[in-house]
């Protein structure tokens, strides 16, 4: 906590980066795994397809416009 | 009418990714469905502002994103006060649907700033180019690139600290509240 207070404001960005480097280094391996997980999580939802409520909604809108 | 069929088909076709985007943004399935529904309604009533031949999906993502941001601004105080309310609701939902393996990642995503989160999802999961993502978020390409980079770093930091390094380093890092604000 003392360390933080001693830092002049203009070096805060650099200090942050150093800290980040120590805490969570972004190796190519981690980045690859993260990207994979992110896409898998996303695809998981995409694979649920179109819930009925949305198909019905668009049908309803379509019919309304035809009148 | 053929044009109408095309539009309807394109809108329906975009629904699965719109939902995935919305869920990643807000971390709540019910709210995400509301966002998608509102997006479709808005899109339908503003079809005349859609330029035929351009990417319908990107157009819908833009509408959803803007709607979310407007809502987000309204809700921010409420969310901050809730202090982890999202994460709790999310956990309940995940248990129901048994997609537990993504729990940690979803929670980590919610700790990113809204700017970083949307940039990372659009580029890293939705498969938009930096240029397309910049258009959707109404900012410069360079801004998107830097947001994606920072989001990746931050995400790895959150997950790394919590999953790997914490084993050797039992002392928790800064409180969650410190990361719930804007990084920009």
* Least Cα separation, residue A23 to chain B (angstroms): 6
- pLDDT confidence bin for B163, thresholds 50/70/90: very low
Residue B85 is predicted with a pLDDT of 54
What structural domains does chain B harbor?
Answer: 2-179 (1.20.140.160)
Q: Which chain B residues have a beta carbon less than 8 Å from that of A44?
A: 20, 99, 102
**What is this structure's pTM?**
0.71
Residue B78 has what pLDDT?
Answer: 58
Instruction: Name which of B26, B106, B148, B153 to mutate to probe chain A: the one with the most chain A Cβ atoms within 10 A of its Cβ.
Output: B153
**How far apart, in whole angstroms, are the C-alpha atoms of residue A28 and residue A58?**
43
pLDDT digits (tens, 9 = 90+) for A13-29: 443 444 444 444 567 77
Q: pLDDT-based confidence at B181, cuts 50/70/90? A: very low
Contact call for A58 and B40, based on CB within 8 A: yes
Query: B19 at the A interface (CB within 8 A)?
Result: yes
Domain ranges for chain A: 2-66
Q: Which of A48-52, A63-67, B42-46, B108-112 has the lowest mean pLDDT?
A: A63-67
User: Which of A23, A31, A47 is nearest residue B161 as measured by Cβ atoms?
Assistant: A23
Asked if B56 contacts B11 with a C-beta cutoff of 8 angstroms, the reply is yes
Q: Please provide the average confidence, as pLDDT, over all residues in chain B.
A: 80
Mean of the per-residue pLDDT values of chain A: 71
What proportion of chain A, given as a percentage, has pLDDT over 70?
A: 58
Contact yes or no for B125 and A30 at CB 8 A? no
Q: What is the pLDDT of residue A5?
A: 47
- Give the HSE-up count for residue A56: Cα atoms under 13 Å, Cβ half-sphere: 3
Residues 6+ apart with CB under 8 A from B137: B65, B115, B118, B119, B122, B143, B144
Judged against a pLDDT cut of 50, whether residue B25 lies above it is answered with yes
Q: What is the pLDDT of residues B67-108, one digit of tens each?
A: 999 987 777 655 554 555 555 555 555 444 435 568 888 999
For residue B163, what is the nearest residue in chain A, using CA coordinates?
Answer: A24
Note the pLDDT of residue B158: 85
Reported residue count of chain A is: 67
Q: Are B137 and B95 in contact (CB under 8 A)?
A: no
Residue A26 is given by DSSP the state -
Cα(B118)–Cα(B137) distance, integer angstroms: 8
The position carrying tokens 């990714």 is B17
Q: What is the pLDDT of residues B44-69, one digit of tens each?
A: 999 988 988 888 999 999 999 999 99
């Amino acid at each position: 906590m003392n360390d933080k207070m001693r830092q002049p404001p203009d070096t805060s960005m650099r200090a942050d980066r150093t800290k980040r480097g120590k805490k969570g280094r972004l190796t190519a391996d981690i980045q690859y795994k993260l990207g994979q997980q992110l896409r898998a999580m996303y695809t998981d939802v995409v694979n649920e397809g179109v819930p009925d409520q949305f198909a019905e909604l668009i049908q309803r809108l379509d019919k309304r416009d035809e009148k | 009418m053929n044009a109408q069929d095309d539009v309807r088909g394109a809108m329906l076709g975009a629904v699965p990714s719109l939902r995935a985007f919305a869920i990643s943004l807000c971390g709540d399935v019910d709210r995400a469905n509301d966002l998608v529904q509102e997006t479709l309604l808005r899109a339908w009533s503003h079809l005349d502002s859609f330029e035929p031949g351009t990417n319908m999906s990107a157009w819908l993502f833009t509408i959803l994103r803007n709607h979310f941001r407007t809502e987000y601004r309204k809700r921010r105080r409420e969310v901050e006060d809730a202090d982890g309310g999202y994460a709790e609701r999310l956990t309940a939902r995940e248990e129901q649907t048994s997609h537990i393996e993504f729990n940690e990642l979803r929670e980590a995503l919610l700790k990113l700033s809204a700017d970083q989160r949307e940039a990372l999802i659009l580029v890293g999961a939705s498969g938009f180019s930096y240029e397309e993502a910049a258009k959707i978020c109404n900012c410069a390409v360079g801004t998107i690139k830097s947001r994606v980079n920072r989001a990746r770093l931050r995400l790895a930091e959150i997950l790394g600290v919590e999953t790997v390094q914490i084993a050797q380093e039992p002392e928790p890092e800064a409180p969650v509240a410190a990361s719930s604000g804007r990084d920009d």
